[in-house]
Amino acid sequence: MFVPKSQNPVLAAVLTLLASAFVAGTTLLAKMLSTDALGPALNPLQISQGRFVFAFLAFALAATLMRLRFTQIAWKTHTVRVAFGWGGVTLMFAATAYIPLSDATAISFLNPVIAVLLAIPLLGERVGPVRLSAAAIALCGAMILLRPTPDAFQPAALLALGAAISLGIELIVIKRLSGREGPMQILLINNVIGVGIASAAAIWVWIAPTPAQWLALAGIGLLMAAAQTCFINAIARADASFVGPFFYATLVFAALYDFVVFGVRPDSVSVIGTGVILCGAGLLVWREGRIRPSAGSPVGKMTTPED
């Protein structure tokens, strides 16, 4: 059994903000790799593989230095979680090539809302009016970002929506792992399985990256490893309902990176749609904080940046 960390909300907030900056950095690098910014565009499947390979190397080194001692591993649960996490991150990387980073990130942040809706058939949970209202508000924000008019509709936004669905299912599975295994064991095992799944999918589209692309792939893996480490330690030091709102800073970092590197300015539709999604997700966080601050419900937690 692992020893729980002492509560430290300030440190938890700082760690979550760092995780947000790192996650946004991975989407920026993914966008550079899936366009021609660093060489011939790479397929999102290959980018996802790079993310898992380099993150695994980082965690394997850390586990060796820490002399990690394994407890019983729930291989089946880990595999299901990683499969959906891999699907979510791959779709997210694909979306970044076509739509602004802030839009793709905002739509993918529907995952707690998707978890609310899926908890009904998959976990048999009863969902009250507050949760349903929050889900409806957030989904309205997603519809705004999808721009569902003949002239403005962005088909690529559906990729980000698919990412949100996959990550929402992952949240349901995370509930089964919560409290059963130590953070480092979870991260290492997830990335071991992730390497296998991602490599099997990428073998069909793999091409030799340029030196700059190799560095970007390594950067995605290392940034994601750092984000996962920061976030899972933040969750260990404060209630998920407290940590959750800080992770939405990812939207700010994504918009900032997109503007600095690609000169993309969020338009009014992006700002409004993102704001509506944040209102819905914020209502969920508020509800969980008041009703069940420590219950371990999948909607009371943001997704670990697995992905």
Domain boundaries in the chain? 9-300
CA distance 237 to 133: 30
What per-residue confidence (pLDDT) applies to 57? 95
CA distances from 203 to 37, 43, 47, 70 (A): 23, 11, 12, 31
What per-residue confidence (pLDDT) applies to 1? 44
What per-residue confidence (pLDDT) applies to 177? 66
What per-residue confidence (pLDDT) applies to 117? 75
- In this prediction the pTM is 0.81
Question: What is the chain's pLDDT, residue by residue, as a tens digit (307 residues)?
Answer: 445 566 777 888 889 889 989 999 999 999 999 998 899 999 999 999 999 999 999 999 999 998 888 888 888 889 999 999 999 999 999 999 888 888 888 888 777 777 777 777 776 667 678 777 877 887 788 778 777 666 656 788 889 889 988 988 887 777 666 567 777 888 899 999 999 999 999 999 999 999 999 999 999 999 999 998 888 788 778 766 567 667 777 888 888 898 999 888 888 888 888 888 878 777 776 776 666 544 444 444 444 455 5
Q: Is the dihedral angle over the CA atoms 107, 108, 112, 116 positive or is it negative?
A: positive
Helix (H, G, I), strand (E, B) or coil at 61: helix
Asked whether the beta carbons of 227 and 22 are under 8 A apart, the reply is yes
What per-residue confidence (pLDDT) applies to 43? 96
CA distance 93 to 78: 22
What per-residue confidence (pLDDT) applies to 151? 60
Q: Following CA atoms 85, 87, 88, 93 in sequence, which dihedral angle do they give, to the nearest 10 degrees?
A: 120
